[in-house]
Structure 1
Amino acid sequence: MKNSSLLLACYVLIFLSCSTKKSENTLTKEEIEDGWELLFDGKTTNNWKTFNGGAVTGWKVINGELHNSGVGTDHGGDIITKKQYTNFELYLEWKVAPESNSGIFYHVQEGLTDAIYESAPEYQLIDDNGWPDKLEAWQHSGANYGMNAPKNAKLKPINEWNTTRVIVNGPHVEHWLNGSLVVEYELWTDQWLQNKAASKWADTPDYGMAKTGHIGLQDHGGLTMFRNIKIREL
């Protein structure tokens, strides 16, 4: 009888743990109350459009994951949110295929350039360990691409999901990777302008100057997968 009761208790604990597990691409009641909104529902790309273009093409929704077009002829190009954001906290989960890279952009402005990365700062995503060429410090995952190298960044193995948070509050920006703060900087300060002048963006006047804009995801060659993309305005 004692063993039966113990077994029943184990079954109850297993049931409760399974029943309370949060579904992917959903918001909890607490998250909704805190102002979070989903940017990807696990089924459609309704909240997105092509950068400098119209409807999303090339990107695919597979088993609740948003996949860029990867390697092949069906290249969809970079996508951006239909809505624009100024101050916000962005959360998403991602993983890249071997020898692939991508990026997350914020304050994206359309019509200024044909290249999304010339308009907006980029949170870098890349296969750090498997990339065939030597990477600069500012090319590693979590970097403010071309500007700020990540510190103490720890990537998950290639087949596991990484978590990213990007916080933008006025000029203050934070890049988080797998629970650690890896990059922090202040936009538009003298130091930021000096860094820009010494970087590959020296001759790109519109880079990083907007104070509001779209969130963007890059389709840069190679496969990147995203899920649980959500944002709250600050």
Structure 2
Amino acid sequence: MKKLLSISLIFMLLYSCDSNKKKSKQQIESQTQNDWIVLFDGNSIQALRGYGMETFPEGIWYVENGALVANPDTTNRDLITKERFKDFELEYEWAVDTAANSGVFFHMQEDLTMESGNGNSPNWLDNYELQILDDENFYDTLAVRSAGSLYDLIKPMNKELKPIGEFNKARLIHNSGHVEHWLNGKKVIDFTMDSPEMKKLLNNSKFKENPEFHSDKEGHIMFQHHGQRVYFKNIRVRRLEK
């Protein structure tokens, strides 16, 4: 009888350990998933607002078929995240209409007046921009301003774009000054801010007259409304700060 009890206790202990391991693994997986902040899931726009606004710019941006769409028939108004980010990983998908132009900015500050309708965003001369573009039909064909580029600074490498109307998958990572931009599973941009190479590029660019160019280390993530129809979906971000 004692022997049977001992065997039963051993099985109970083994089952308990295995169960605890499974729970621990599930908790870790759940915690990893919860690290992501959903900015747009095809429906809710609660994590976003208009530049210089307290609310979402209804009509200027709208939701259609699970995508966030920039309306070309209105004045321009960029979208920013309500939260601010320092080190982060951003995932999103984008598509463009014919000859459309847009971009994603980070560490944005709301310190300039939004000039709706002028075709350009505030701060576009102050911050790095990951370019979104219809390479085939847009009038500017320079590689350094093409889709996936670090606008006017670094041309993308190993780029593979989807046709107009199809969604490209993008990742933007900023971690302690190091930046990576991934497009459809391939890394197309890799640079370090404040490095000698970047300082040289900036000194030879249109941004050279701006000594404060991207001097902020944290801020909003911004999606540009440039006056053409662009689409975003599956937008999420997670913080990388330790």
Q: Give the alignment's TM-score, normalised by structure 2.
A: 0.79
* CA distance in 2: counterparts of 1:116 and 1:204, whole angstroms: 11
Deviations 1:16-42 (A, max 9, x none): xxxxxxxxxxxxx95762411101132
Q: Tell me how large the CA RMSD over aligned residues is.
A: 1.8
Change in CA separation of 1:134 and 1:117 when aligned onto 2, cut-off 3 Å: closer
- Report the equivalent of 2:94: 94
| Alignment match, 1:116 | 123
- State the Cα distance separating 1:168 from its structure 2 match: 0.5
Task: Give the deviation of 1:190 after TM superposition.
Answer: 2.4
Partner of 2:7: none
Report the CA distance shift for 1:196/1:31 in structure 2 as closer, same or farther (over 3 A).
farther
Matches within 5 A, 1:69-218: 69-70=71-72, 72=73, 74-112=74-112, 114=114, 115-131=122-138, 133-218=139-224
Other structure's SS at 1:83 match? coil
Q: Secondary structure at the residue paired with 2:40?
A: coil
Q: Secondary structure at the match of 1:231?
A: strand
What is the percent sequence identity of the aligned residues? 35
CA distance in 1: counterparts of 2:56 and 2:208, whole angstroms = 31
Q: Does 1:224 align with 2:230?
A: yes
Aligned AA (1:61): V
- Name the counterpart of 2:68: 66
The one-character-per-residue Cα deviations of 1:99-157 (angstroms, maximum 9, x if unpaired) are: 101001111111156513123211100001122x2411211111111111101111011
1:204 Cα deviation after fit: 2.3
**In 2: Cα distance, 1:63 partner to 1:174 partner:** 30
Equivalent residues of 1:64, 1:227 under 8 A apart: yes
Give the gaps of 5 or more residues in structure 1.
1-28
Distance 1:44 1:206, change over 3 A: farther
Match of 2:32 in 1: 33
Structure 2 residue aligned with 1:15: none
Q: 1:134 to 1:48 in 2, by over 3 A?
A: closer
With normalisation by structure 1, the TM-score equals: 0.81
Query: Which structure has the greater CA radius of gyration?
Result: 2
Q: Whose helix fraction is larger, Structure 1's or Structure 2's?
A: 2
**Deviation sequence 1:194-220 (CA, Å, 0-9, x none):** 211111111223321111111100000
- Which runs of 4 or more aligned residues in structure 1 lie more than 3 Å from their structure 2 counterparts after TM superposition? 29-32
Aligned residues: 203
